[in-house]
Structure 1
Amino acid sequence: MRHGLLLFCLLFFIRIVPAQTPGNPTSTIANFTSGMEKRAGFLPFYWDAKKGKIWLEIDKFETELLYYPSLASGIGSNDIGLDRGRLGQEHIVKFQRTGPKVLMVEPNYHYRAISNDPLERRAVEESFAQSIHWGFEVAAEEGNRVLVDLTPFLMQDAVGAIQDISRTRQGNFRLDASRCALYLPNSKSFPQNTELEVTITLTGDSPGAYLRSVVPTPTSVTMRQHHSFVQLPEPGYKVREFDPRIGYGGIEYFDYATPVSQPIIKKYISRHRLEKKDPKAAVSEAVKPIVYYLDPGTPEPIRTALLEGTAWWDQAFEAAGYKGAFQVKLLPANADPMDVRYNLIQWVHRSTRGWSYGASIIDPRTGEIIKGKVTLGSLRVRQDYLIAQGLVGKFDTDTAHVTEMMQMSLDRLRQLAAHEVGHTLGLPHNYIASAQGGTVFGRASVMDYPTMVAKLKGGSIDLSDAYTKGIGDYDKWSIIWGYQDFPAGTNEKQELDKIVRQMHAKGLTFLTDQDARPESSAHPATHLWDNGSNAVDELKRTMEVRKVALSHFNETKIPAGTPMATLEEVFVPMYLFHRYQVEAAAKVLGGQTYTNALRGDGQPVLSVVPAEEQYRALYALLATIDPQTLAVPPFVLKSIPPRPFRYNPNNREVFKRRTGMTFDPMGPPEAAVGMTLRLILNPERCARLVHQKLFDPKQLGLADVLNQLIRTIYRKPVKQTYTDEISRMTGLKLAEQLISLAQNKDADGATRDLAHRSLQRIKKLANVSQGRTYGLITHLIRQYEQNPAQVQPSPVLTPPDGMPIDPGQEWLDGLLGEPACEWEYESPFKQ
């Protein structure tokens, strides 16, 4: 009797208790979630406060939706790149139920068959792998609805922070589940999207300097990561084929249903959905305007400048025949910035100046932009102000020139806001725009990287025209081409081609990141951070501005009461004021002018830069390494003491030195010489110089360049003076560059041979010279001849970080996009 009772109780326990246990979905959702907080919306979820879990209710099986992670709160280091608001990769996913499991599956949209034949589509689907992001156990069900524990999926490093920390050599970190939790204030469900947020903590040993500078306890890195599930756009979006003659990012995929006679790779642009209420009207309101929202945490007067710069794009949409189709507003107080319904311009703080980004969440099926997201670094404006300080600052009183300096900085922010928003409209960089536009300074597009135009007016510097004050002509044509809404029955392909031809007739073209790299690319007018329709003329003009800036440089460039050592931060951009125009002029050497021509469109295809222009570039570049030009002004040498207590002696914004704490008078000249020589003797540029001489004996060749370098640099100094020492240093750096070039196994054979011959010539010059002029150079050449592996040139003192911040490299590659890439959505779309 007693045994029977025990058996009955055991069977009762087995039958009743598991009804509340995940994996045995016999309980109803209502019973299982009793006492939990429900949040209805696109994907309803329940908050289980007792267990700290999120339970997701799924009723949309085999229905595609968009998932993407993002970073709600960042680390604060530009170098690591984990910024507040950073978007992760978007994924088309769907939920599939298999017995007690629900799989979150990502179809492979890189390979398709656009066909009405289901068997043809299935053949492609089964030929390429899919991705399963997670598997869930069904905890409860009710009708066609199931409940799953979403918590483990949420508690992961979804944005790849661990990889970014490792990539930037900041240590090996791992996720610590005991220090992770749901973040309820930002976990919400809306009609078209469900947003969930978690606090995650990464732990590791030996954190790098970047982490140590921004994390209070750098072995424990805590941030908030966000997960978005979004309803995909309704049908009706019209794809637009990519045209390489006008810049748009987008999607591409293999279509295996394509006839053999046509390209199998399909390319379409990314853009927002925009339709006229009346497509037949020359000017019409939009069915739904594009609205961008600015982070209300942006302070004044920066807030107003960003609103004004962003609003420039309405000029472009007006040119495309829209009325009020592009708008910018402050984000409402009750709006969630992570909500996919809001195109957002976010003001982000970091420990250093850094890149700004324009990225987008797109529908990978069509290329439609669902959400534009701009990240603007708050310290960039301070760097612009610092440059203005060096150019026109005169702190005789605390307010002298402040208005002019602040105005230039705000003008730059207006341009930057327009630039990054342009990326989120689908536009990549257009780096040839600074050479087009009908004026000497170009400015055909805000999608270029501009540097300030500092003009000489009498004996002073004028910044009133430092930056553009509106959208460029190319920007208008690009929006017309990408967003024009044609009436039914229009031959769209013909009309789009007509727009491109009209743009070309205005002297406007498109070249982007790959065409602008200072080392490997060859176009003489496509550069980063340059100005002017002619790179050589602008280098000469820039050198004149630099000369005036340095001649006026004195202690009034910093306010009274400021440590004199900080004068160096203002001096650096003045001394290197020419650095990016040197990059531009160097590309004229071995340069080739070309377009993204299509067969039959009438554009010029390719031509070599005329010899006369290449020689002009060479002589202008050699002038930048003249010892008199490179000598640091006496005032500076007497006015920059070692940095005081609590002022970082390893500041990235000052010149590197070999003199310990004291200012190194040879540091700035060595940085400038190394920069110019590296650009001139870039292996790919050298190969182009060799080859162009083969086809045209009158052209500038590498032998001509090397001969001129040797004649210019190896002049025997007769006195032990500062400029003579700069001359000796320059000769040493040239020899080291030639040794490196001669030993570069990836370099063109003729290039290596000419570098070797030049070293022999330098050795002969050394043998007939007197004094210590060439002693070390002779030693290095002998080492190179006898045992090349033992040659150890001294490390070059490179220039301080340029651009937004980076040791001499434009992007992460990449970007956004860098660059970048950046089609790469991240690196090319950064500035």
Structure 2
Amino acid sequence: MSRASLARPLLLAVLMAGATGFAGAAPSAAGAAPAAAKSLADLTRALQPQPGFIDVWRDVDKGRVLLAVGALEQPFMLVSSLPYALGSNDVGLDRGQAGEMRMVHFERHGARLFLVQDNTNYTAVSQDRDERAAVRESFSNSVLWAGEILASDNDRYLVDFSSFLLADHHGIAGSLARTRQGTYAVDPARSAVLAAEAKAFPDNVELEALLTFAGPGQGEYVRQVAADPASLSMRQRISMVRLPRLEAAGGWHPRPYHPYSGGFDSSYFDYATPMSDSIDVHWQVRHRLEKTDPSATVSTVKKPIVYYVDRGAPEPIRSALIAGASWWASAFEKAGFKDAYRVELLPEGVDAQDIRYNVISWVHRATRGWSYGNALTDPRTGQILRGAVTLGSQRVRQDILIAESLLAPYGKNAPADKHQLAEEMALARVRQLAAHEVGHTLGFAHNFAASRMGNGSVMDYPHPILALNDKGEVDLSNAYGVGVGPWDDYIVNYIYGDFGGGQQEQAALAKLRAAARAAGLLYSSDQDDRAPGASHPDGLLWDFGPDTLKTWDQLGAVRQRALQTFSTAVLPDARQIGELEARLVPVYLLQRYQGEAVARLIGGGDFDYTSAGDVRAGAGRAGIRSTPADVQRQAINRLTDSLRAEYLTLPPNVLDVLTPPAAGYARNREYFATKMGSVFDALSIAETGAAQSTGFLLDPGRINRVAWQHARDSKQPGVQELLSVLLQKTWKRAPVPAALTGGEAVQLAADWVVVDSLLNLLDGGQLHPQVAAEVREAVRELAQWLQKNPAQGVAAGSRRQAAELIMAYLTDPRSVKLRPLPVVPPGAPI
């Protein structure tokens, strides 16, 4: 029997026997209950009762909440959230945001009741009490709160829980400190328990407080969003939740995690495993979904998964959210679950923060930012207790901006349907985004390789699919896919499909994995794909198409066309003319993500997420497969071409319309930087474009891999070849054509970025010594070439000073203050 099939029944047996199996539970304290002047009934007679999982009494007049705790030592879940928040994407305290889910229990010590957080990271899943105790005693629990027992009655203990509610359990002060907004702390005089909001239900308790944080009020982000940045008032919700039931045999059960499942995992260290097994135990994160007829191929379910859309989302966005989030229903149907998943508008009057509801929140912030989905889980099994989706409302406006910048729909002779196309593209993105973030709360991870299959998965980050039509015009009519893809069908079936249990289940899952690989379903996720120097050539954010180089060329043609047609027609009549600069950003940097994809081919190598068993069975591959040498050389040429003036120079039709922001407006982070006062800076934009490319090309991890691949296979390009091509395309290139407006100045701007990038690469200390020696020799050779080829005119000074800078750095790095590379305006999220 496999480790997975052994662990599950043992885990359930321990839990069903009344032990948590985790290290948090402590023995009851000895001693009699303290004498109370009044009974529990006496103290609560005049208060508003809320019977439930834990009985609650509202004391509205005194602004406090009383709890009657009856089940000591019994674990339950506790989580914070923010019904009212800060509104800053940069600080990250969003409306509806869920916090860390903790397993806790109450225990009594003398005259006080303690709330203790169990240490769920370390456990012994064993029927041996002493074995469990040994782990429990080895790792620290955490006492979160203690309060005086006001009265006791029939093994129930009455406490005033207000002091817990008035403390910062969501980590608000920590978030403010991490984002350099200053040191904030709860001001008790301006904070209050919202007793009237307290609610108790059979399986959960919902408690809320108004917290006011006092601080310096000097941080950029708090000054941007707060009414008074020295006084930040938010609401904190505390949800206390009964642990889910666990069946000893049959029914829903935890599913062992597999790295090719496409899902998230919930893990802990189990010190009761056999010596030959790993103590690191992982379960698939998933909702409880049970067929009413387990023997049927397709069956209705005991309790469907329902998501509710925030009533604050306006139309037509509201309908788009419901439609997109509903895409998952087809995948559940294919996995054998009939009417098992649906999306509805949150009923009027329902508390969106009530942990019983899976909610898609439409959240406003001062600036655009990321959306996300949180799956709140039972740490013992990975069962999802609640899905909480946060969608930033300004994302849709970025898509409108991109579409309008490409279509120029506001010209006098522009077809009327162009503006409609821009709105349709934005709504298509909203539908895809809703499906994506809900997917996370269903237990699904990112798959950044799915774009190789077209609309392969909503769990990828999609770039709008752009092309030129037969008339040479930008076409975005099919910018985003519709519905879930083949990878999504696979992960729903793998994570939720009902395959029985034990060896039967494991065999069925292995068969699914083999079939998915045979169908060419690639998988690559966050840890291997987000870094600028990542190596997997298929794990790409914001790309599209099966061929990276072909898509680069396709987007290059779209970019060129969009720049040629860029005019005031990209801007609605009511907008101030200075906003043209902001609309230029996504056009000029249109290939930014595909440029990263091209860079992945250089020193690139793909690999599988798999297990040793799948490799031995031929259902997975071990090792790394390098990108072919000819593809790497094509990629080097494409990326270095983006450092040439022919690519970086703006045409006159763009330069002639760009105007400084009007009175009452200012540039912000969405604009290119300028060193020319209030006017547009064509040199800064070229430097930014060059920094975008050199940042990918000269990433130290990539350079190290190029050196190793060449050392292992001399047919692969090496560091010397890569740097030779880079310098031939920039400093050593032929004269810039005179027809390019300001072309020579733009090329010099890019050349300086190349030198600064090379010196920063050497100065970063992340290259292997022998690789750094290769780079240093290439830089020295450049300095010598510049000295021997002094040039004429404006280029002469740059060549002389670049050579002097390089030699000074190589002689004594500490004597040179290196310039930081230009800051690239934000692109993601789109």
TM-score, with length taken from structure 2: 0.91
Map of 2:712 onto structure 1: 695
Amino acid at match of 1:545: V
Contact 1:586 1:680 in 2 (8 A): yes
Secondary structure at the aligned position of 1:800 is classed as coil
Q: 1:250 aligns with which of 246, 254, 265?
A: 265
> Which of 334, 353, 357 is equivalent to 2:368?
353
The 8 Å contact of residues 585 and 621 in structure 1, kept in 2 or not, is answered as yes
**31, 55, 76: which is aligned to 1:65?**
76
Residue 196 (str. 1) matches residue 221 (str. 2): no
Q: Show the counterpart of 1:790.
A: 815
- Give the direction of change, closer, same or farther, for the CA distance of 1:325–1:98 in structure 2 (3 Å limit): same
Pairing 1:267–2:282 present: yes
1:9 is matched with none
Query: Against the structure 1 CA distance between its residues 566 and 696, is the aligned structure 2 distance closer, same or farther, given a 3 Å change threshold?
Result: same
Match of 2:349 in 1: 334
Q: Which amino acid aligns with 1:430?
A: N
- SS in structure 2 at match of 1:195: strand
Q: Does 1:112 align with 2:123?
A: yes
**Is 1:446 paired with 2:446?**
no
Match of 1:802 in 2: 827
Shift of 1:209: 1.1
- 8 Å CA contact 2:644–2:750 kept in 1: the answer is no
- Cα distance in structure 2, aligned partners of 1:597 and 1:301: 42
Instruction: Kindly indicate whether residue 307 of structure 2 is the aligned counterpart of residue 282 of structure 1.
Output: no
Moved more, 150-159 or 534-543: 534-543
Amino acid at match of 1:752: A
Query: How do 1:37-48 and structure 2 match up within 5 A?
Result: 37-48=48-59
**Rounded Cα–Cα distance in structure 1 between residues aligned with 2:396 and 2:701:** 36
Aligned residue in 2 for 1:600? 616
Distance 1:371 1:432 in 2: 28
Letter aligned with residue 772 of structure 2: R
Residues 254-285 of structure 1: per-residue CA shift (max 9 Å, x gap) = 11111111122111111000011112211111
**TM-score (normalised: structure 1):** 0.91
**More deviation, 391-400/152-161:** 391-400
Label 1:491 to 1:584 Cα distance change in 2 as closer, same or farther (>3 A). Answer: same
Distance in 1 of aligned mates of 2:804 and 2:245: 73
Residue 631 (1) aligns with residue 649 (2): yes
User: Could you say what secondary structure the match of 2:532 adopts?
Assistant: coil
Residue in structure 2 matched with residue 749 of structure 1 by the alignment:
769
Task: In structure 1, give the amino acid aligned to 2:258.
Answer: D
**CA displacement at 1:489 relative to structure 2:** 7.6
Deviations 1:536-594 (A, max 9, x none): 22111111111111111111111224321111111110110000110111011000121
Q: 2:118 is aligned with what amino acid?
A: P
Change (3 A) 1:184 1:174: same
Q: Does the residue aligned with 1:589 lie in a helix, a strand or coil?
A: coil
User: 2-side partners of 1:349 and 1:138: how far apart?
Assistant: 42
Deviations 1:320-345 (A, max 9, x none): 01111111111111321111211110
Match status 1:97 vs 2:122: no
CA-CA distance at 1:212 after TM superposition: 0.5
The SS at the match of 1:205 is coil
Query: 2:761 is matched by which residue type in structure 1?
Result: L
Of 546, 552, 565, which residue of structure 2 is paired with 1:552?
Answer: 565
Find the aligned partners of 2:232 and 2:379 in 1 and give their Cα distance.
32
1:387 to 380, 390, 402: 402
Of 37, 41, 65, which aligns to 1:30?
41
The equivalent position to 2:780 in structure 1, one of 723, 744, 760, is: 760
Pair 334,43 (structure 1): closer, same or farther in 2 beyond 3 Å: same
Residue 427 of structure 1 aligns to a residue in which SS? coil
Structure 2 distance, partners of 1:47, 1:384, is: 47
User: C-alpha distance in 2, partners of 1:247/1:746?
Assistant: 32
Matched letter for residue 801 of structure 1 = P
Hey, what's the Cα distance between the residues in 1 that align with 2:736 and 2:170?
61
- In the TM superposition, what is the alpha-carbon distance from 1:518 to its structure 2 partner? 4.2
- 1:670 to 1:185, Cα distance in 2 relative to 1, 3 A: farther
The 8 Å contact of residues 34 and 110 in structure 2, kept in 1 or not, is answered as no
C-alpha displacement of 1:717: 4.0
SS of 2:159 mapped into structure 1: strand
Structure 2 partner of 1:581: 594
- Give unmatched runs, 5+ long, in structure 1: 1-21, 805-830
State the distance in 2 between where 1:502 and 1:445 align.
17
* Counterpart residue type for residue 379 of structure 2: P
What is the Cα deviation at residue 718 of structure 1? 7.5
- Residues 1:160 and 1:488: Cα distance change in structure 2 (over 3 Å): closer
1:565 corresponds, among 578, 591, 603, to 578
- TM-superposed deviation, 1:350: 0.6
1:385-442 Cα distance to aligned partner (Å, 9 max, x none): 100101113213695522111110000000000000000000010011011x2xxxx2
Where do residues 176-215 of structure 1 align in structure 2 (5 Å cutoff)? Answer: 176-215=187-226
Q: What corresponds to 1:415 in structure 2?
A: 432
CA–CA distance in structure 1, aligned partners of residues 92 and 502 of structure 2: 47
Q: Secondary structure at the match of 1:88?
A: strand
1:378 corresponds, among 393, 397, 412, to 393
Q: CA deviation at 1:795?
A: 3.2
Instruction: Give CA deviations for 1:621-649 in whole Å, capped at 9, x if unaligned.
Output: 11212201111221222212221111123
Matched AA of 1:406? E
Identical aligned residues as a percent: 38
- Residue aligning to 1:424: 441
Residue 663 of structure 1 aligns to a residue whose secondary structure is coil
**CA shift for structure 1 position 660:** 1.3
State the partner residue of 1:808.
Answer: none
Corresponding residue SS for 2:448? coil
Deviates more, 1:576-585 or 1:120-129: 120-129
Deviation of the 1:487 alpha carbon: 4.0
User: Is residue 2:94 matched to residue 1:83?
Assistant: yes
Give yes or no for contact 1:445–1:471 (8 Å, CA) kept in 2: yes
State the Cα distance separating 1:675 from its structure 2 match.
Answer: 1.0
2:802 to 777, 782, 785: 777
- What is the CA distance between 1:288 and its match in structure 2? 1.1
* Aligned counterpart for 1:511 among listed residues 524, 535, 551: 524
Q: What's the counterpart of residue 232 of structure 2?
A: 221
Give the letter aligned to residue 377 of structure 2. I
Distance in 1 (CA, whole Å) between partners of 2:725 and 2:34 is 79
The aligned residue for residue 612 of structure 1 is 630
Q: Structure 2 unaligned runs (5+)? A: 1-32
Q: Which amino acid aligns with 1:350?
A: R
1:6 is matched with: none
Identify if the C-alpha distance between structure 1 residues 554 and 185 changes in structure 2 by more than 3 Å, giving closer, same or farther: farther
Equivalence for 2:699: 682
Contact between 1:82 and 1:161, CA under 8 Å: does it hold in 2?
yes
Paired position in structure 1 for 2:5: none
What does residue range 515-530 of structure 1 map to in structure 2 within 5 Å?
515-530=528-543
Q: 1:433 aligns with which of 450, 453, 477?
A: 450
Which residue of the partner structure matches residue 377 of structure 2?
Answer: 362
In the alignment, is residue 711 of structure 1 matched against residue 728 of structure 2? Answer: yes
Please state if 1:292 is matched with 2:307. yes
State the Cα RMSD in Å.
1.7
Q: Among 485, 501, 505, which residue is 1:472 paired with?
A: 485
Contact 2:409 2:569 in 1 (8 A): yes
| 1:724 to 2:744 alignment | yes
Which amino acid is 1:474 matched to? Answer: W
2:45 partner SS: coil
Equivalent residue of 1:116, what SS? coil
Letter matched to residue 620 of structure 1: R
Tell me if structure 1 keeps the 8 A contact 2:563–2:654. no
Q: Secondary structure at the match of 1:346?
A: strand
SS in 1 for 2:771: helix
Alpha-carbon spacing, 1:802–1:23, altered in 2? closer, same or farther (3 Å): farther
Paired letter, 1:433? A
When structure 1 is superposed on structure 2, of 712-721 and 267-276 the one drifting more is: 712-721
Aligned-residue offset at 1:23: 8.0
Which is worse superposed, 717-726 or 71-80? 717-726
CA contact (8 A) 1:55 1:151 kept: yes
Amino acid at match of 1:258: T
